[in-house]
Structure 1
Amino acid sequence: MTNRTHYYLQIKDLLHARGPEPTLRYEGAGPNDFAAALQEALRSPLLFQRWRAMQPDPDSVDERLGITDQLATVSAKTVDLHTEVDVISNLPMNILRQRLSWLIGSEWQLHDVRPA
């Protein structure tokens, strides 16, 4: 996992984008808050640990789902009526998808992926 990837995402309505579980979801107010929340979710194991503790058998959860990238960077900005999000990380897409789902559910769309 040494290759860094640049993920380009779009969120149509960040104001209403929320994950299904109240204790895991994003509760911020704008693009900068969201970028900080996602960056923290990629860099720190805390969100994964909270999710894992909620599972029926936390000890059976694959530890590899909790990998992090201490160098992940996230920026977000409002463009027209949507939010554009740029993520640079060495984490695979399945981990990014997992963290996005916890934070904002399915309210995002991947537009492009390129080597960083």
Structure 2
Amino acid sequence: MTNRSRYYIQIKDLPHARGAEAALSYDGAGPNDFAAALQEALRSPLLFQRWRALQPDPDSVDVRLGVTDQLANVSAKAVDLHTDVEVTSDLPMSILRQRLNWLIGNHWQLHDVRPA
């Protein structure tokens, strides 16, 4: 049995929110692009694999950090001067945090977590 959660996240300035590593960073134009990028990062191991390849010793990276959720769902919408993001997944917050930081750095804030 999985413990699916719904994460509520806010991004204050999505057009300028970027991760520290350009090769991993989000480069879209709006909420829908970001939702698609984050959903792909949660469902597919590709972003993790790119990050792992950038590490000094890729073979020493714990492969459990690359866990994915094929059923992860992400939606995002512009509200006033920020972007609201809703993520439904059984991935732990530590993995969601990792993927968000790779995509947009620390330009996000978790507002709530509820059972899905």
TM range (shorter): over 0.9
Return the letter of the residue paired with 2:31. P
Q: Give the structure-1-normalised TM-score.
A: 0.99
Q: Distance in 1 between matches of 2:80 and 2:26?
A: 22
* 2:73 aligned with 1:73: yes
1:45 maps to what in 2? 45
TM-score (norm 2): 0.99
CA shift for structure 1 position 6: 0.1
- Which residue in 1 is equivalent to 2:9? 9
* Paired position in structure 1 for 2:97: 97
**DSSP-derived class of the 1:48 partner:** helix
Q: Name the Cα RMSD after superposition.
A: 0.7
Q: Secondary structure at 1:26's aligned position in 2? A: coil
Query: In structure 2, how many angstroms separate the alpha carbons of the residues matched to 1:16 and 1:53?
Result: 26
Displacement of 1:70: 0.1
| 1-structure distance, mates of 2:110, 2:8 | 6
Helix, strand or coil at the partner of 2:95: helix
Report runs of 4+ in structure 1 exceeding 4 Å deviation: none
- Unpaired stretches in structure 2, ≥5 consecutive residues: none
Q: Alignment length, in residue pairs?
A: 116
Q: 1:83 matched to which residue of 2?
A: 83
Could you list the runs of 5+ residues in structure 1 that have no partner in the other structure? none
Q: Deviations over 1:57-111 (max 9, x none)?
A: 0010001100000000000000011000000000000000000000000000000
Counterparts of 1:91 and 1:62, CA distance in 2 = 16
**Deviations 1:7-62, CA, capped at 9 Å, x for gaps:** 00000000000001000000000000000000000000000000000100001000
Aligned to 2:54: 54
